Amino acid sequence: MKLYHWTMPRNLASIAHSGLEPKPPYKETPYMTAGQSVVWLTANPNPDISAADAEYLRTMVPDWDRPILFGNADDIRLTVTFNSSTPSRRNLHRWSEWIAKRIMVDQVTGEEIPLSKLIECMPPSGEHDFWVCLTRIPVSQIELPPITARVAMLGLKEDSEPYKQLAALPPDQIVRVAA
């Protein structure tokens, strides 16, 4: 099974060194992961969403004033492969099925809130089939950009001496230099 993870170029060195680590939930939306740290993945290789899905999201959050896409415009797509024998596969869950089984407790009222309601807020097309992984995804499961692309993503100009030096190093040494 192939899934995709979008990340900023500056994160590539640490990902190449230690894989994808679960991240704590966003401060603004801890309910999206029931307060758990996760690695977000999607089945869609494209970060853009359709006009119909964007319109649907705007009706759900009318005061949203930013462009609607999943991730940032500069993000880089990583392909992550899971098979039945990869240890992280046991901790990989389709987000809609996983979140439907979770509840959160309102810190003010103490009320239990079923998080299955979040599924209703997602665009109906199902175009962005989200997944969460609850454990680290090792480097061996991640297709990283070619070495010259990783060096370029460090912001060095191709004709600079540091670029030439880094481009000449084996991939494992670039990780140590860039981290």
Q: Residues with Cβ < 8 Å from 137, sequence gap 6 or more?
A: 19, 20, 39, 80, 88
Contact between 95 and 76 (Cβ < 8 Å): no
| Angstrom distance (rounded) from CA 171 to CA 17 | 10
Helices (H), 19-123: 51-60, 95-99
User: What's the pLDDT score for residue 66?
Assistant: 56
Strand 130-133 with 92-94, pairing: antiparallel
Identify the pLDDT of residue 21.
Answer: 95
pTM of the model: 0.72
Rounded to an integer, what distance in angstroms lies between the CA atom of residue 112 and that of residue 132? 22
- pLDDT score at 167: 64
The number of C-alpha atoms within 13 Å of 167 and in the hemisphere containing its C-beta is: 14
Mean pLDDT per block of 10 residues along the chain (179 residues) reads 89 86 83 87 81 75 61 80 86 90 84 79 68 94 73 64 65 42
pLDDT of residue 178: 36
